[in-house]
Amino acid sequence: MKTIGNLIWFLFGGLLLGIMWFVSGLLCCITIIGIPFGIQCFKIAGLSMWPMGKEILYKRPSFGSVLGNILWILLFGWELALTNLIIGALYCITIIGIPFGLQCFKLAQVSLFPFGVTFG
């Protein structure tokens, strides 16, 4: 079921999301200061293409990850998380869309706090 869900997700928006996150990562990597943010964008790009069956695991927060998350939230993280929450709520209106809505909620969580996250 996970494979079919990932395939449907990929065909109906996951590829586009992944490309957008990848391009955002490339743009962030133009400057030296933006490289850590670009790396997080690349991680989220992978998750946004194939989210079904993956869990979000937070490591013990370090000073760098806390500072990175604060900067991320202030610059653009809250907008991305809010967008994913709204799209997830729209998916959850129908019974068929509930699994896809749950994946949007997962992406909202990662979009808000990307530093210190691994996927299992």
Find the domain containing 93 and state its range: 2-119
How far separated are the first and last CA of the chain, in Å rounded?
A: 18
Q: pTM of the predicted model, to two decimals?
A: 0.84
**How many distinct structural domains can be found in the chain?**
1
Amino acid at 72: W
Residue range 35-70, pLDDT digits in tens: 999 999 999 998 888 888 888 888 888 898 999 999
Backbone angles phi, psi at 56, to 5 degrees: -95, 125
- Profile the chain (120 residues) by mean pLDDT over runs of 10 residues: 86 87 92 92 90 87 90 89 91 91 91 87
